[in-house]
Chains A and B, each alone.
Chain A
Amino acid sequence: MDIELKNLKVKVEDKEILQNFNLKIHQGEIHAIMGPNGVGKSTLSKVIMGYPDYKVVSGDIIVDGKSILNLPINERSKLGIFLVYQNPIAIEGVTMREVIKSSVDSKSEEKKSLYEFVKEIVGNAKELEMDSKNLHRDFNVGFSGGERKKNEILWALMLKPKFIILDELDSGLDVDSLKIVSSVLNKYLEENKETSVLIITHYTRILDYIKPGFVHMVKNGEIIKSGDFSLAKLIEKFGYNQTFDINEVETCE
């Protein structure tokens, strides 16, 4: 999936969070957005997803050549956009299986039989080294932060997205779980070469497992520096402020 964020200006409750934000992600590319807390990284994910409390003041979001600004959240999901949340919600009273089945049924024109659905989800849970009994537990209730992240990836595998946004995927995941989740995601990307990815993170740890071809540094709601994977390594070494002063990395545009 091709995604273009064009001169995007976004406000939340009259506060400008993103300003003149430009980013082009072509089919099959992996991009990483890096920046300290509070610079608008997570805002970006919610804006792309179409959250109503994030107002796009000007600019556009173009997916495969068409603007998606007027599409509601669920229609954006049906296009193939999948946001892996930093803090997924929990719902008591409905099971993981029920919630994910609703979503799979909503997306496809023909409802999968329960047998087909269970076979597929159990297979995916096994790849993620999850206990399939968890599918019968209430949605994310009593799950650790890491387990919730695995549940998000499980859901992604079931919906087969064409553009995945990973918002702080590594927060809450221990090293072993991060390796498992990354390996499953890399396998998915290998098998679905048209799928593009946006990794939102303030640490470089995840980038050692899911390698981006493009890294962008964000400050005050805009991209201030872009480069390849080496930019992430500079940020790791020097921090955000010092990296900004280093000139050998290509600047944005």
Chain B
Amino acid sequence: MNKIYIDTSNYKLEIKDDSSYFLESKLNNLNLYIEVYKNINSKVFLLTRNSKVNIEVKLRDNSNIIINSLGIDASISSMITLGEDSNLRFLESIISKVDTVNKIKITHIGKNSHSTYINNGVNLGENKFYFEVDGMITKNSRGSFLEEDSIIINRKDGDSKIIPNLIVDNEDVTANHAAFIGNFKDSDIWYLESRGINQEEIEKLLLQATLLKGIEEENREEFINYLENK
């Protein structure tokens, strides 16, 4: 794993070998550009805090990337383009107690490209918390697959919204979207309470569950430390 602490507001990462990167930034403004070269498999972990982040990802033909991103009080805008036979799995988790608007635009430009975008948000306050999710499959992207799944856990009476758009210009594709805004389930809380766990600890466990689901256990530690240092 290559660990990189980003201290410049414009950062370019060109991935030319099969590799994994751990990127962390505390800058107020960050522009991150990632390009994955042809036939390359890569994994990127990204931690950001108190920042406005713009991410641009370009997947060349037959490349693969898994992105696990955790943002604390961050607004993140991502633009991703997928070339032919490329594959994206993007797990984006954001926890915020300030106004945050997170935008993502995924564009399939090559045929048989595959994208899964899962965003899990936790709105801690009474603030604005938006996910604007755009998925686009262009005319040339026959056989492509696009899946979006968005969740916002609204802990207080926050202004939380999920705004999904699917723009599909080819009939031979699969595209779907799911969205949920709500709070933790009473049944989960009561179950954990029935094992003697106090409210504070239950909150911590369920927050972790919301933000880290889908991330392999061996890669969670950095994320947990980051959350605990909040």
Contacts and interface: CB of A to CB of B under 8 A. Distances in A.
A2 to B, nearest CB: 20
A103 B12 CA distance: 45
Contact of A85 (B191, B215, B217): B191
A89 interface: yes
A53 B210 CA distance: 25
Contacts of A137: 217
B174 interface: no
Nearest to B218: A136
Given A91-B209, A93-B208, A94-B205, A103 B191 contact: no
Contact of B191 (A72, A78, A89, A106): A89
Interface stretch (B76-84, B100-108, B159-167, B192-200): B192-200
Contacts of A82: 195
Contacts of B192: 99, 103
A214 to B, nearest CB: 24
A77 B205 contact: no
Contacts of B210: 93
A179 interface: no
A49 interface: yes
Contacts of B217: 95, 136-138
B194 A102 contact: no
B194 A92 contact: no
A95 B205 CA distance: 10
Interface string A100-128: 00110111000000000000000000000
A124 B148 CA distance: 41
B59 interface: no
Nearest to A136: B217
B198 A92 contact: no
A143 to B, nearest CB: 15
Contact of A77 (B196, B208, B209, B211): B196
A54 to B, nearest CB: 10
Given A95-B217, A102-B201, A136-B217, A89 B196 contact: no
Contacts of A92: 209, 213-214
B196 A83 contact: no
B193 A88 contact: no
A95 B206 CA distance: 12
Contacts of A93: 208-215
A159 to B, nearest CB: 7
Given A52-B190, A88-B191, A89-B188, A94 B209 contact: yes
Given A102-B201, A136-B217, A155 B195 contact: yes
Contacts of A236: none
A74 interface: yes
Nearest to A76: B194
Contacts of B215: 93
B211 A49 contact: no
B229 interface: no
Given A74-B196, A85-B191, A94 B201 contact: no
B190 A103 contact: no
28 contacts: A49-B194, A51-B190, A72-B193, A74-B193, A74-B194, A74-B196, A76-B194, A77-B194, A82-B195, A88-B191, A91-B205, A91-B206, A92-B213, A93-B211, A93-B213, A94-B205, A94-B212, A98-B205, A98-B208, A99-B192, A102-B205, A103-B192, A103-B195, A103-B196, A105-B201, A106-B201, A137-B217, A138-B213
Given A53-B186, A94-B205, A103-B192, 13 more contacts: A72-B193, A74-B193, A77-B196, A88-B191, A91-B188, A92-B213, A98-B208, A106-B195, A106-B196, A136-B217, A137-B217, A138-B213, A155-B195
Q: 10 tightest CB-CB pairs across the interface, nearest first?
A: A93-B209, A93-B213, A77-B196, A73-B193, A92-B213, A103-B195, A93-B212, A107-B196, A74-B193, A106-B197
